[in-house]
Structure 1
Amino acid sequence: MPKRSAARPAAPPAAPPAEDALWPRVTRELADDLAVDALARDRAGKPPFDEVSRLREAGLPALLTPPGPLSGGSDWRTACAVIREIAAADSSIGELLARHYALTWSARFFGTPEQADALERRVADGQWLLAGDTGGTGHPSADAEPPAAPGTTPDLTLTPDGSGHLLHGRRAFAAGVAVADRLVIGAGDTETGDWLIALVDPAHPGVTTEPAHDRLGQRLTGAGSLTFDGVPVAPGQILGTVSHDEQHLTPYATLAPLALRLGLVHVALGIAEGALAEARDLSRAAPRAWQGAEPGPAGYPEQPGRDPYLLLAYGELVAAAHTAAAVVEPATEALARGLLMGGELGVNERADIAVLVAAAEAVTGQAALQITTRILELTAADGTVGDPGFDRFWRNARVLTAQRSPAHSLRAIGDHYLNGAHPPLTLRI
């Protein structure tokens, strides 16, 4: 049954590292901690309140915010590395972080420097975890009609009311609805047709939360649906405005979905690497319970990990992971550079970033599914071990990659390469 969002306790003060050099150590410690009980927590499938507390204790929600007493003020390259390592231990928490980091920059994408500074300071001071979606049904794009056109009616609307707005509608979210401190969401202005980016408190009585239960994978992201019934949004809660006129959709604003997509690519890569690492530990420790088709005169050595067919399988999977990582790296570098350009980012630069992200998305999605499927087969073939829980890697990879069809990415790459076409300027993920 749907329920009203309960008030959340104030976030404890955080003491994150003051230098970038410490982030890898802090992330490694948290990843090790999450890995210890990852299988048990996946099986339980409870809202990730405890996991979010662990993120706050490590100071990770404030990683991308400006330097200060409560923030390390790191960059997007570091953020992506953190997402990837946390996802290797627990991909649900990696997805929570990826979405949070993308939303942290919402005011930079859509608002003024003053609005961006205000949001980022509040995130750092309160150690907020952000969730939401700046796109959604009916948002503007360069290849679509304005939101008010038939067939593109916004699922969320903001109706002017006095000096502010009232938020109405319902939307499903892939993560964070159960645990977020604030929501960053896009909604259509019923008077102007513009797309507004709003900051909303999910604990408001007008917000109804309906968690998603029994998901196939990514069970700990806190996914679900939110219904907004006349939730007041003050002028100070509007982080930015996107005109319904497609000509006014800037290349820099359309980096918002690309930042999220790349963050989720790092989650997928983390899943593949985490599955490989855990399977390696199992294969090193346990002898094979089956023989190959042609074991040879003396058979295979009894030592764990000496089966040549096993070595071949791991060689193929490790090569697939390295290939994915090699494609993800230039996309990460390109996006990091583009994010620093601000309003100077041009259409051509944005197109190059979009194609690199699409390539990383396509290659990594395929590799994650290939690796987790084969790992599941390899570990299931060992009858000497009980259920090692490797199904969670496959389930998580399947659910994560299903959020966006690879056909869209491949078509954009092909059109750019063959025809020199630019991927459309859009806020759609």
Structure 2
Amino acid sequence: MGSLNQTQIDHSIHPRVNSADPVPPRPRPATPPHGLKDDAEAIAIARRLAAQFAPGAALRDREGLLPLAELDAYSQSGLWSINVPKAYGGPGLSHATLAKVISIIAAADPAIAQITQNHLAILNTVDLEGTEAEKKRTFDWALQGIRFGNAFSELNSKTVAAFETTVRFDGDEAVVNGEKFYTTGALLAHVIPTVAIDNGTAYLVFIDRDTAGLTVTNNWSSFGQRTTASGGVKLDNVRVPKDRAVRLKSFDEHPTIAGPLSQIIQAAIDVGIARGAIDDTIAFIRNHSRPWIDSGKEKASEDPLSIIAIGDLKICLHAAEALLDIAGRSIDVGYAEPTLDNVSEATLRTAEAKVLTTQIAIEATNKLFELAGTRATLNQHGLDRHWRNARVHTLHDPVRWKFYHIGNFYLNDAHPPRHPWN
């Protein structure tokens, strides 16, 4: 891959990350997205899109280019409505298929896959928490191609679950004030669902991207997942109709698959990062690497120690993928019958998948350079993005706690906690 002179890029068309360059709200789609028929079609579409997204992934990462055209193609494909229930006009596909689709996109460009995450989680939240009117409106938006962003976490709060953003109700309006960070997808969304508190009660407030008082800052400066546009959102007396505030129930009120759904998307992104890294490792060894002098081989691909290492990586990858599928099927059961036992089963299976996907993402992106050699570190190849993406994305929630909750269940019959990070 040759390097690209930065002056060749029109930044009015391709705005950059961590920049003060203004990014206006994205236009709403003129036509509805494609309607998915079944699981097989969703996977086929994901593979077609991945083939389109992969060639430009290194360039977008290196130059910090937001994936505008790619995101439009992705959301118009129908995949962003994959978990809209059939009763509301959606395909209502398996959560195993959802995870498979995300992993396919992530193998091509994990930043694009991550931008989908909050949209799908929002659909799930409204499905589980909303009134019939709220469900119909939200699902109708999604089926029209409206993208939801995210204004959930806060940078300076005591814990990830502590919120200082407030909402108050003034007649027929909800008024929101606060500041958010890690707002993946907000910059390129049409609507930004925002978590805000009113006297201890949490609401998810749906705010149009161009609403007065709402400012999205393109200041995501992480060294990985650079083009997710996960910067900040400020809300200064933002007013929306009162009926756009969806009351959120406490996770302790009733068991739901909200946590496992959020987590399986994270795990799917990590396994996609691993798959993409392993594919690039194999390609580089075949086409660029030199055999080590002690191997006595003519080609790097004939080095017995490299062969063994690739075999190990593939085994671990396939184990992670298998657990991801098992987790998706268990979420299907917990969604259909949300008993405590079923939800705990879904939580535990998803946690197990999260452990293996984290491990293989980090291992595969480390092994890439060990096996491919020094040439693989040259900037022109852009392979460092795999390690940076894996290292950053696997920090979403501490996988070390997964071991604890899994072990505590099997040893002490303790049901795992229920929250968006578990």
Mapped to 1, the partners of 2:419 and 2:216 lie a distance apart of: 28
Whether the 8 Å CA contact 2:301–2:307 is kept in 1: the answer is: yes
Shift of 1:163: 2.5
The answer as to 2:31 corresponding to 1:27 is no
Q: Which residue of 2 aligns with 1:88?
A: 107
SS at match of 1:23: helix
Mapped to 2, the partners of 1:362 and 1:262 lie a distance apart of: 11
Cα 1:151–1:308, aligned 2, differ >3 Å: closer, same or farther? closer
Paired AA for residue 288 in structure 2: A
Cα 1:65–1:410, aligned 2, differ >3 Å: closer, same or farther? same
Shift of 1:379: 2.2
- TM-score norm. by structure 2 comes to 0.87
Q: Which residue of 1 aligns with 2:116?
A: 97
- Equivalences for 1:169-248 in 2 at 5 Å? 169-190=178-199, 193-242=200-249
SS at match of 1:130: coil
The answer as to 2:330 corresponding to 1:334 is yes
Q: Which residue of 2 aligns with 1:311?
A: 307
SS at match of 1:54: helix
Q: Flag structure 1 segments of 5+ consecutive residues without an equivalent.
A: 140-146
- Equivalences for 1:107-186 in 2 at 5 Å? 107-125=126-144, 127-132=145-150, 154-186=163-195
Q: Which residue of 1 aligns with 2:387?
A: 394
SS at match of 1:242: coil
Paired AA for residue 42 in structure 1: D
Mapped to 2, the partners of 1:137 and 1:251 lie a distance apart of: 28
Shift of 1:17: 5.0
Mapped to 2, the partners of 1:367 and 1:214 lie a distance apart of: 25
Cα 1:348–1:75, aligned 2, differ >3 Å: closer, same or farther? closer
- Equivalences for 1:348-363 in 2 at 5 Å? 348-363=341-356
1:318-343 per-residue CA deviation (whole Å, 9 max, x = no partner) reads 122122122222211111221223xx
1:54-94 per-residue CA deviation (whole Å, 9 max, x = no partner) reads 21342322233245999655332222111010000000111
Paired AA for residue 78 in structure 1: T
Cα 1:3–1:106, aligned 2, differ >3 Å: closer, same or farther? farther
Paired AA for residue 90 in structure 1: D
Mapped to 2, the partners of 1:238 and 1:111 lie a distance apart of: 10
Which stretch shifts more, 60-69 or 345-354? Answer: 60-69
Q: Which residue of 2 aligns with 1:143?
A: none
Mapped to 2, the partners of 1:352 and 1:71 lie a distance apart of: 26
Shift of 1:117: 2.4
Q: How big is the alpha-carbon RMSD for the aligned residues of Structure 1 and Structure 2?
A: 2.9
Overall identity of the aligned pairs, in %: 26
Mapped to 2, the partners of 1:373 and 1:133 lie a distance apart of: 33
Whether the 8 Å CA contact 1:35–1:90 is kept in 2: the answer is: yes
Q: Flag structure 2 segments of 5+ consecutive residues without an equivalent.
A: 1-18
1:365-399 per-residue CA deviation (whole Å, 9 max, x = no partner) reads 01110111111222234479874222111100000
Shift of 1:228: 0.6
Paired AA for residue 260 in structure 2: L
Whether the 8 Å CA contact 2:151–2:181 is kept in 1: the answer is: no
Length, aligned pairs only: 403
Cα 1:153–1:73, aligned 2, differ >3 Å: closer, same or farther? closer
Whether the 8 Å CA contact 1:105–1:116 is kept in 2: the answer is: no
SS at match of 1:209: strand
Q: Which residue of 2 aligns with 1:12?
A: 30
Whether the 8 Å CA contact 2:111–2:225 is kept in 1: the answer is: yes
- Equivalences for 1:210-289 in 2 at 5 Å? 210-242=217-249, 249-252=253-256, 255-289=257-291
Whether the 8 Å CA contact 1:106–1:239 is kept in 2: the answer is: no
Cα 1:17–1:123, aligned 2, differ >3 Å: closer, same or farther? closer
Shift of 1:136: 6.4
1:247-297 per-residue CA deviation (whole Å, 9 max, x = no partner) reads 6x2112xx22321111010000011011111221222223525323xx3xx
SS at match of 1:132: coil
- TM-score norm. by structure 1 comes to 0.85
SS at match of 1:179: coil
Q: 1:59 aligns with which of 78, 101, 120?
A: 78
Whether the 8 Å CA contact 2:184–2:230 is kept in 1: the answer is: yes
SS at match of 2:149: strand
SS at match of 1:88: helix
Which stretch shifts more, 178-187 or 78-87? Answer: 178-187
